[in-house]
Amino acid sequence: MALKSTIFKAELSITDMDRDYYATHQLTIAQHPSETDERMMIRLVAFALYASESLQFTKGLSAEDEPDLWQKNLRDEVELWIDLGQPDEKRLRKAASRGQQAVIVSYGGGTADVWWKKTQDKLGRFDNLTVINLIPSEVEALGKAVERTMQIQCTIQQGQLWFSIGEHSIEVNPVYWLKPI
């Protein structure tokens, strides 16, 4: 018998002063049996960074042809494709061609650094691709704050994110390895 996803509920209140976006989202997050708490929280970080009324979690690890998050328009066209990890070049091409904007949120410390050094020269042709790296200690702190039901306040200012989750206060400083011009 296959293992089932674990369901988490989060009320995410976002104050994004960089984009003048202020909203509260009621999120249901399905954590794949092979997904760590840290990876699930990285999906929440990505959601907070690019939040909109139409941004949504996908089947993620359960579907190879979908990103972790996406935003589609009313014609079912992908406006924003967000993947996590260190995708191969084929996956990067797919992300950049399927979405008007593509974002890779990399994590994993040394493995992410090795991936970036190996991949960065191949990314110059993608003018709609953003690559962000998250610092391992910050990701670890997010993983320690996980609860089945969470009330999360997120403030974004000058590229920094501050999360308040229960008794945890966590600062996240994304490093932009690549930004569209």
Nearest alpha carbon to residue 66 among 54, 88, 49, 82: 82
**Residue closest to 8 by CA, chosen among 21, 34, 27:** 27
Residue 73 domain flag: yes
State how many domains the chain has: 1
Q: Is beta strand 129-133 parallel, antiparallel or unpaired with respect to 101-106?
A: parallel
- Whether residue 2 lies inside any domain: the answer is no
Share of the chain above pLDDT 90, in %: 70
Please tell me which residue, 90 or 105, carries the higher pLDDT value.
105
- Counting residues of the chain whose pLDDT is more than 70, the rounded percentage is 97
Q: Specify if 39 maps to a domain.
A: yes
Q: Length of the chain in residues, anyone?
A: 181
Bridge-partner residues for 163, per DSSP? 154, 170
- Do 38 and 140 contact (CB within 8 A), yes or no? yes
- pLDDT of residue 2 exceeding 80, the answer is no
* pLDDT tens profile 135-175: 999 999 999 999 999 999 999 999 999 999 999 999 999 99
110, 86 in Cβ contact below 8 A? no
